[in-house]
Amino acid sequence: MAIHDALAADKDSILAANAKDLELAQRSALNGELSPSILKRLDLSRPGKFDDMLQGLKDVRELEDPVGRVDLRTELDDGLILQRQTCPIGVLLIIFEARPEVIANIASLAIKSANAAILKGGKESTESFKAISTIISKALAGTEVPNDSIQLVTTRDAVDPLLELSQYIDLVIPRGSNELVRHCQRKAHMPVLGHADGLCTIYIHSDADKDMCVNVVVDSKTDYPAACNAVETLLVHEDSLSTILPAVAEALLAKDVELRCDGPSKAALSHHLSPDLATKLQSAQDADYDTEHLDLILSIKTLSANSAVNTAIEHINTHGSHHTDCVLTASKETADRFSNGIDSACKFWNCSTRFCDGMRFGFGTEVGISTNKVHARGPVGLEGLMIHEYRLSGQGQGAAMYGGKGGRQYSHKKLPLA
């Protein structure tokens, strides 16, 4: 709360610093040196963004203390009790691009989970980073939290040397472009938590409600196109080409979304849409289905009726990024079949892919979204920053006392969680 109050009090100075970053970033974007998606993520003045950052701090405060939570107790023998409980990972290195609010998010989660954090911001957010980090450092000085538990690094050439310090740093969390994430995955001497791409897909089944499809697809694409949880590919059951897709396409075009269609979907939409809208349709290339557009662009592909669900599963597992994928259908059986088949961290039924978010999941905020196959997966909040330790308390027992003829036997009796 000290951090929350300090950031709230200095909002004007933070936004002024952010405006300097935006001015330089806009020039870089015009020169082609910076992607438009990074530019959008940089802007702290977007409606609600600063307030969401502050609310995230409050939400984390209200979460249950994650440290020392016991989830297993076993009596190995009389007076020999095993206990498994949560503990912090240790020292986290978070490298991020553009998003200045990440500083507050990570600081709050690190403090609540008893982890230390080293934060390295990108050059495009230098002024914002300096302003926010200075405020956080001053706020921590008046608390019992050691100031050095949140380390702030501004040197541009510090990343690669940090990635080699496995004796001091336990986990790397990169947040930014796929180039940044892949670089960390190649160079790091310690585990890396995160995702390189957010290539999310929605599949429209033939029995889906038309109005619901319109609402979900439009929200998934246009609510924040530069986000990693925005939909990039729309798979459509061929029986939906004339019943559902025209209404979805019309709503998307009204939001200035560029539709890149395969042959069947383009032909169907050309027939059902007005001529002025039909002229806006583009032809999809194979590469479009492997592209995270991060913009108002959506790739559309038609699936044959006799194998649509299986083909959707195969397409997502082949072309997706294991992030967040959604099925729109009236059938729970179809939804379960889809969810059981796709290899994604988040599997949604009849709702926007934009719900994949730590704050929306009730985690307070998040350090990022992970597509890893170990430890944390999906939006990573407090629980994703914890690991387990085993504590065994005895009364002088030794392993040689057990087993063999005449030896003591283990009881392995499950005990209630204290």
pLDDT, tens only, 105-139: 889 999 999 999 999 988 888 899 889 989 998 99
pLDDT of residue 98: 77
Q: With 80 as the cut, is the pLDDT of residue 72 above it?
A: yes
Mean pLDDT computed over 334-354: 96
Which residue would you say has higher pLDDT here, 303 or 369?
303
pLDDT-based confidence at residue 355 (cuts at 50, 70, 90): very high
Q: With 80 as the cut, is the pLDDT of residue 177 above it?
A: no
pLDDT-based confidence at residue 102 (cuts at 50, 70, 90): confident
**Percent share of the chain, pLDDT over 70:** 100
Mean pLDDT of the chain: 93
Each residue's pLDDT tens digit, 368-418: 888 887 788 888 889 899 999 999 999 999 999 998 888 999 999 999 997
| DSSP for 16-84, written as a single string | HHHHHHHHHHHHHHHTTSS-HHHHHHH-TTSTTHHHHHHHHHHHHHHSPP-TT-EEEEEEEETTEEEEE
Mean pLDDT computed over 319-324: 95
What amino acid occupies position 288?
D
Q: With 80 as the cut, is the pLDDT of residue 277 above it?
A: yes
The listed CATH number (3.40.50.1820, 3.40.605.10, 3.40.50.720, 1.10.3720.10) that belongs to domain 2-193+367-387 = 3.40.605.10
The listed CATH number (3.30.300.30, 3.10.105.10, 3.40.50.300, 3.40.309.10) that belongs to domain 200-355 = 3.40.309.10
H or E segment and range at residue 118: strand 116-121
pLDDT of residue 373: 79
Domain boundaries, the chain: 2-193+367-387, 200-355
Mean pLDDT computed over 147-167: 89
Residue 23: Cβ within 10 Å count: 10
pLDDT-based confidence at residue 50 (cuts at 50, 70, 90): very high
Residue 131: Cβ within 10 Å count: 22
H or E segment and range at residue 111: helix 102-113
Q: Which of 261, 298, 297 is nearest to 278 (CA)?
A: 261
Residues 90 and 169: their CA atoms lie apart, in Å, by 8
With tokens 């988040």, the residue in question is: 346
Q: Is 2-193+367-387's fold the same as 200-355's?
A: no
